[in-house]
Structure 1
Amino acid sequence: MKKNLIIILLFLVSIGGYAQEDALVFFTDKENVDASIANPITILTQEAIDRKQLHNVPIDERDVPVTESYITQLKNTAGITVHAKSKWMNAAYVRGSLSNIQDLTNLTFVTGVEFLDKSLNFSAPAQTTTSKFEQESRIDYNYGDATNQTEMIAVDFLHELDFTGEDMVVAFMDSGFPNIDTNPAFSEMISEGRLLGTYDFAERQIDVDGTGSHGSLTLSNAAGLLNGSFVGTAPEASYYLFRTEFAPSENPVEEAWWVEALERSDSLGVDVVNTSLGYQDYDDEDYTHSYSDLDGQTTIAARGANHAFDKGMLLVTSAGNDGDNSFVFAGTPGDAPGILTIGAVDSQEDYAFFSSIGPTVDGRVKPDVMAQGLGAAVVDQNGNVTSANGTSFSSPIMAGAVASLWQSRPETPNYQLMQIIRESAHLFENPTDQMGYGIPNFEAAYNALTLLGVEEQLKAQQFAIYPNPIKDKINVSFPQGAEEAVFTLYNVLGELLVRKAITNVKNTINVSELSTGVYIANIRSNNQTTSYKLIKEY
């Protein structure tokens, strides 16, 4: 009897020794930090640099990639598999036995390990940098089945002013996007070159068909266009599609893939991100997030969302569909302060019974605002207009609306735009746990944005060109402290047309001889260049 008991105990110890755990491994430093920051085009696209300059977002150590030699050493460590990495956190997501992961702390470049099974953590891991809070042309769409969800938040008002998301870049993160290239709802996006790229972070490939058609459905709410039967809320925006979800199972590695996709979005110059995903319970209960974890700072996804907020992007996410379950609260990343969390209402603007509620464990209002998610119109993977239920659909309806609004004043910082949207909602003065600040009105948000005089406010911080569109003269407003600059103007073929030294007194350029069309202007001062897209009329 005793011998059998000893054998059983040894067997259990053996199982424990080889059981697989998931963890974040944090690194000490990065290589070439100063050189990379001094020459940011080596680590970011020009679009990303331009967006950061426009919103006065600093390029810092978080933008520098993880040191690849560290990743290689982890991959070459027996018993360790690397599934993801994060430059913002300077960390890697690994899987291995408890002892193998603990042994990683002996590596000179590892500062700490954080297990996703929180009971295995004895002290807080080392952290990296923390995040900071605190026209005349009109479009007449026939929205078809999407009419109610569009007019509910007054996005049609923006479209009538020709704010349809043009020149805005939106990233979608989801489980799969099958038939994108054959779906008629996306034919204009494809033919006009507005599908900018795709990537599957789970399979490490370009194909993003993934598992299921959830991503195709959600994308239609923003990008879809079947005039006469369906129009999304940002039908002329440009899009990146990223698969970060592995539908057959639930594991926190999906949060790490999601952060990787955010980091890539930032480096590509993405403005708005939609996430119709949420994380709370996992197949392994030891990884499941408790309510106390949902404080906006603890989970991998929340940390990534807060870094993305600092980097100037505006993130929109679904609150979740747990409103009628035992755990009713919005999951992560919807708990993050730097994200716009969207709940669901029905066609009559009443709370949808399944929509996850707030507040967060630290008492903040969540969801932020609401859109239609019960009986929401969508286009399926075969191009058929149908309906679906879930905050998965209220989120992209809102994300497209955000992109269209931001197009009207792209210089507006993300935090200011988010607050304007909240303040436009019908429950802003009296938010509730079920509906947050309520249903926003994008006509009111647009008017508030106009009244703010954002252009005047930002003149003290950066160059401004006006008017735009232009007729015969370009005027350049100088920021405080700048006295001289070099103005250059190029056509769309990249040919230099105008080069002129200007000052804060002699700041007008005559362009009356230019033909009607689109031009690119650059203003260089103090070794920094700012670019502008100009439209010449008549």
Structure 2
Amino acid sequence: MIKKIGLLVILCFHFNAIAQEDAWVYLVDKENVQASIANPITILTQKAIDRKSMHSVSIDERDVPVNENYIIQLKAQTGITVLAKSKWFNAIHVRGLQVDISALINLSFVNEIIYADNNLNSKTVISKPKSDFKFESARTTYNYGNALNQIQMFNGDDLHIANYTGAGMTVAVIDAGFPGVDNIAGFSHVRDAGNILGTYDFVARDVDVYTNTTSNHGTLVLSDMAGFVQDNFVGTAPDAEYYLFITEDAPNENPVEESYWVEAVERADSLGVDVVNTSLGYKSYDNANYSHSDADLDGLTTYISKGANIAFEKGMLMVTSAGNSGASGIAAPGDAPGSFTIAAVNANSNYASFSSQGSNIQLTQKPDVAAQGQASYVISQNNNISTANGTSFSSPIMAGGIVCLWQALPNLNNAEIMQLVRESASQFNNPDYLLGYGIPDLSLALNQGLSVENFTAIDTNLIVFPNPVNNELNVHLPSTYEVGNITLYNILGKKVLESQVSQANRKVNVSHFSKGVYLLKVEADGFLKTLKLIIN
């Protein structure tokens, strides 16, 4: 972005602002950790606690808020502006002169400082010995109008017909502005049902996401999930509940937006959100020193992608646009293993040339799947139905479909839902860097998922331990089965192990597998169970 500044005094101010640096200040500890974990209702909503319990997601130190007294002390330091905070990282995003930021290391509660400009990190020693604080690691029929093709492409309309329209599911939309959502007819359905549960602008620090915004991007994105115009337009999850969060400071590109985003997903987790849609991506910044290199986009390096991976661990399903950079590649957090990354196709299911392509830089298959993102139909803030291009729209179109699928299969966890969607896709056996596993068939995914749930309900005696596992996994089949087969899938959906277990041979060696989240499928004669396995 080029900014024209006419007056010398303004120009001088601008150069002074350039000297300001962004950095993350990591703190040494938190307060009342064990008491908070023992009484989680003090730090999480009941819905969040219930979701974590249903999907066996542990409540740990990362769920405990940042010590507010530390934040107060940071705000009091010379030249320091506090912009964002993260309980998952126990970190504060600050801005100030380098000399003032570096001085923060002298505070007893500051453990480490990492600058957004990596050049400064290589020149500046600003860390302390590690502290003892550790992070663990009826039928519904719609006339879709113009929106028919974009849901019919992955048979999401079949889920609607089966009365899975998102009811009871909670979605956080993390984006730019949402003008018009509070008053135009295209969103009256979601408003009248009381399904906009809350809003927050993490940039302006207030609850108004509708006015004084510099972008209508969030409105367009939300319409593809929640929009409804009788006989003319239906979003893919019209009856879900929504939180609307702004983390994008639209006129600027600065790494603080990554910190705003992490704050937003932390709040989403605390509120019991099931699915997060992110139609944002970060690689290049106004200050080139802050920009991410291609090598940074491995899914594990950038602040926002590390946040996406924790959000996945916490049980949320993170649907993310691949980006609109074509061969230049996927940006963060779409590169994260914990993100379910959506590419774009046109109305004929062919690759859209702008859709960001994956590469071997990413440690997992990216993109994951694809949906319509070229000439996608949206509702604007003026209540007009029009078309728009971008993975910004293929992402929410697919996210809404996944919301409905998870509504139908509530006993499955986020990893299992993602795997079902991958396995249903058009090129599951031959994924590529353009469309990933291809275009899903959510009707097929639902049928497969229902068979898994039905078999799971029969089982009360399968024992798999330890979980997490380091070296040797024990699989004890129910006593009525002498022999069974196990299949292990990694997070990108590829089969990495197939073996047999029996009552006499229950042990499986997994020591040679990389750390991470896997899906373990256990099968015997007429028996099937799929569960999430963590390898340390």
Instruction: Please state which band the TM-score falls in when normalised by the shorter chain.
Output: 0.7 to 0.9
AA at the equivalent of 2:55: H
Q: Per the alignment, do residues 356 and 115 of structure 1 end up closer, same or farther by CA in structure 2, a change over 3 Å counting?
A: same
How do 1:243-254 and structure 2 match up within 5 A? 243-254=246-257
Deviation at 1:459, TM superposition (A): 6.1
How do 1:200-349 and structure 2 match up within 5 A? 200-209=201-210, 210-323=213-326, 328-349=328-349
3-state DSSP of counterpart to 1:453:
helix
Deviation at 1:461, TM superposition (A): 9.8
CA distance in 1: counterparts of 2:454 and 2:136, whole angstroms = 25
CA distance in 2: counterparts of 1:131 and 1:398, whole angstroms = 31
Deviation at 1:360, TM superposition (A): 4.8
Contact 1:131-1:310 at 8 Å conserved across structures = no
CA distance in 1: counterparts of 2:170 and 2:362, whole angstroms = 33
Contact 2:61-2:135 at 8 Å conserved across structures = no
How do 1:116-515 and structure 2 match up within 5 A? 116-122=116-122, 137-209=138-210, 210-323=213-326, 328-453=328-453, 456=456, 460=460
CA distance in 2: counterparts of 1:434 and 1:111, whole angstroms = 42
- Measured on the aligned residues, the alpha-carbon RMSD in Å equals 2.1
3-state DSSP of counterpart to 1:452:
helix
**Offset from partner CA, 1:45-82 (integer Å, 9 cap, x none):** 11101111111111110000000011111100011100
Contact 2:199-2:208 at 8 Å conserved across structures = yes
Q: Per the alignment, do residues 273 and 17 of structure 1 end up closer, same or farther by CA in structure 2, a change over 3 Å counting?
A: closer
User: What are structure 1's unaligned runs of at least 5 residues?
Assistant: 1-14, 463-479, 481-538
AA at the equivalent of 2:246: R
CA distance in 2: counterparts of 1:364 and 1:288, whole angstroms = 22
3-state DSSP of counterpart to 1:370:
strand
TM normalised by structure 1 equals 0.79
Q: Per the alignment, do residues 312 and 331 of structure 1 end up closer, same or farther by CA in structure 2, a change over 3 Å counting?
A: same
Q: Per the alignment, do residues 18 and 295 of structure 1 end up closer, same or farther by CA in structure 2, a change over 3 Å counting?
A: closer
3-state DSSP of counterpart to 1:250:
coil
Q: Which residue of 1 aligns with 2:46?
A: 46
CA distance in 1: counterparts of 2:330 and 2:461, whole angstroms = 37
Contact 1:170-1:270 at 8 Å conserved across structures = yes
Q: Per the alignment, do residues 363 and 30 of structure 1 end up closer, same or farther by CA in structure 2, a change over 3 Å counting?
A: closer
How do 1:74-89 and structure 2 match up within 5 A? 74-89=74-89
**Offset from partner CA, 1:225-266 (integer Å, 9 cap, x none):** 112100000000000000110111100100100000000000
Contact 2:102-2:126 at 8 Å conserved across structures = no
Contact 2:337-2:363 at 8 Å conserved across structures = no
CA distance in 2: counterparts of 1:117 and 1:461, whole angstroms = 54
TM normalised by structure 2 equals 0.80
CA distance in 1: counterparts of 2:401 and 2:310, whole angstroms = 23
CA distance in 1: counterparts of 2:136 and 2:360, whole angstroms = 18
Q: Per the alignment, do residues 208 and 129 of structure 1 end up closer, same or farther by CA in structure 2, a change over 3 Å counting?
A: farther
3-state DSSP of counterpart to 2:326:
coil
**Offset from partner CA, 1:488-529 (integer Å, 9 cap, x none):** xxxxxxxxxxxxxxxxxxxxxxxxxxxxxxxxxxxxxxxxxx
Question: Does residue 1:72 correspond to 2:75, yes or no?
Answer: no
Deviation at 1:364, TM superposition (A): 2.4
CA distance in 2: counterparts of 1:333 and 1:433, whole angstroms = 16
Deviation at 1:456, TM superposition (A): 1.9
Q: Per the alignment, do residues 413 and 455 of structure 1 end up closer, same or farther by CA in structure 2, a change over 3 Å counting?
A: farther
CA distance in 2: counterparts of 1:459 and 1:98, whole angstroms = 59
Contact 2:299-2:363 at 8 Å conserved across structures = no
3-state DSSP of counterpart to 1:148:
helix
**Offset from partner CA, 1:247-298 (integer Å, 9 cap, x none):** 1110010010000000000000100000110001000000001111011111
Contact 1:335-1:360 at 8 Å conserved across structures = no
User: What are structure 2's unaligned runs of at least 5 residues?
Assistant: 1-14, 463-477, 479-536
**Offset from partner CA, 1:315-362 (integer Å, 9 cap, x none):** 1010000006xxx11100001101100010000100000000002514
AA at the equivalent of 1:275: T
Q: Per the alignment, do residues 459 and 117 of structure 1 end up closer, same or farther by CA in structure 2, a change over 3 Å counting?
A: farther
Deviation at 1:453, TM superposition (A): 2.8
Q: Which residue of 1 aligns with 2:534?
A: none
CA distance in 1: counterparts of 2:135 and 2:343, whole angstroms = 28
Contact 2:23-2:114 at 8 Å conserved across structures = yes
Contact 1:200-1:242 at 8 Å conserved across structures = yes
**Offset from partner CA, 1:78-122 (integer Å, 9 cap, x none):** 111000000000000000111111111111111100100011113
AA at the equivalent of 1:165: G
CA distance in 2: counterparts of 1:461 and 1:44, whole angstroms = 32
Q: Which residue of 1 aligns with 2:511?
A: none
Deviation at 1:188, TM superposition (A): 1.5
CA distance in 2: counterparts of 1:65 and 1:453, whole angstroms = 36
Contact 1:17-1:98 at 8 Å conserved across structures = no
Q: Which residue of 1 aligns with 2:24?
A: 24
CA distance in 2: counterparts of 1:392 and 1:18, whole angstroms = 30
